[in-house]
Structure 1
Amino acid sequence: MKRCKLPTARTLLTLALVGMAWVAGSAMAQQRDADQPIEVEADRLDLDDRAGTAVYTGDVDIRQGSMRLTGDRVEFQRNAAGELSRATARGERAYIEQQPDPEQPVVRGWGRTIIYHVAERRVELIDRAELHQGGDTFDGGYLEYFLDRRVVQARAESEGVEGRQRIRMTLQPER
């Protein structure tokens, strides 16, 4: 695996990973993670500064503090102002995680496609989607997680989902 470090790519990654905090009110976790170095492993990087994209392919593993994003392909897109607008991970089991606070469990998400919409602070987990926090789990064809509101919406069928994947949920009793 090759390590990729480019100033423009670093800027894209910093914006992407800082924005991926999974739980509202996790400013401490965001700052703690933002202060950590970004580590990227991939087989290939295609960076197009004019188009505002960075595409990593080949067993991509991106880490910063407690945050991690993996997939066969990970693409970052910037808007006209140069800010990260969307991060998309694809693979047989693309994966995203973060520990919002040392006192809280790690939040983990899987799907064949994971799309993080930065401005909306919304994560889509598409096809064979799963979302876990502690003992609570959600899975199905499509899961949408709104970070600030801590809202999950789930569907058995949606665009990009193979077949019908019924929604399942397990919630642990409050202690």
Structure 2
Amino acid sequence: MKKILIFLLILANIAFGQENKKSEPVIINADKLEYNNKEKVAIYTGNVDVKKGNMQLKADIVKIFLDEKSDVSRILAIGNVWFQKEDKWGKAKEGEYIKSQDMIILRGDAELHQADNVVEGDEIRYIISEEKSFVDKKTKRVRTIFFPKEKTDGKENKQSK
């Protein structure tokens, strides 16, 4: 039990870390937690809800993998994955964050939304530091819906539908 409490304190300080938001706590609610210290993995199952600041992640299962320094190296969300950060949200059957590649991957009926704009595909990969996205087709074609902005009086306004 003591190892789990230490692990949770470490996790709260490092998971989903952004330099300017390290003081914000990570709050994880789930039906069950299993932590394996030898393999350095925490497995949350059942209605998992992760919150940090203005970011929220929901899934059936969330696995958090730690490296030898107990830093988060990878996060895997499985089943009914849904997330939101500010005005952006997305969903997929599976989501993964890989710290070493600074990448988020959404797999299986993946969708990303920002305002009325949407991109859909079988797999969406996003390299965070480069702000670069790749959308792949495996079973269905990639689809994008976006609403151009119109310029009026030197200002951009979103066109009405």
TM-score interval for Structure 1 and Structure 2 normalised by the shorter chain: 0.7 to 0.9
TM-score with structure 1 setting the length: 0.76
Residue number among 130, 137, 148 corresponding to 1:173 in the alignment: 148
Q: How does 1:1-175 map to 2 (within 5 A)?
A: 6-18=5-17, 31-32=20-21, 34-91=22-79, 93-99=80-86, 106-157=87-138, 164-174=139-149, 175=156
Contact 1:128 1:165 in 2 (8 A): no
CA RMSD of aligned residues (A): 1.8
Contact 1:12 1:76 in 2 (8 A): no
Cα 1:10–1:90 shift into 2, 3 Å: farther
Aligned residue pairs, count: 147
Letter in 1 for 2:71: E
Letter in 1 for 2:91: W
Identity %: 24
Larger Rg: 2
TM-score with structure 2 setting the length: 0.82
Alpha-carbon shift at residue 50 of structure 1 (Å): 2.2
C-alpha distance in 2, partners of 1:11/1:58? 22
Alpha-carbon shift at residue 153 of structure 1 (Å): 0.5
C-alpha distance in 1, partners of 2:76/2:134? 19
Q: Stretches of 4+ moved more than 6 A in 1? A: none
Alpha-carbon shift at residue 172 of structure 1 (Å): 2.5
- Gaps (5+ residues) in structure 2? 150-155, 157-161
| Bigger fraction of residues in strand | 2
